[in-house]
Amino acid sequence: MAEHKLYIIEYELHGDYRTFIIRQERMDNVEAWHWASCDAGVGVIPRFGQHNIKKVSRPMAERYGISKVRWRPSGQGPEFVAPAIDMKRFSAAP
């Protein structure tokens, strides 16, 4: 069984900085663009055991406003700090 590692993916969605951590066996630029698209709500997250999901390519992701996708193994680079959440965005006020 392959060892899973933690990776940090950073990207911009319509100019807003986003970041998240994902556990994967391997990571490369193609995987990073696909998972950034999934985090942004564009890509399809595969169910357990599904391997034939069509990945979102960089050109397709860029059409949806995703840009500047970067990735790195956890533990390399600056410490991961989750961005603050603006609770006003989730209030039900009309």
What is the pLDDT averaged over residues 52-57? 83
Average pLDDT, the chain: 84
Give the pTM: 0.75
Q: Which residue has the tokens 């066996």?
A: 25
| CA atoms within 13 A of residue 81's CA, in its CB half-sphere | 5
Average pLDDT estimate for 24-38: 91
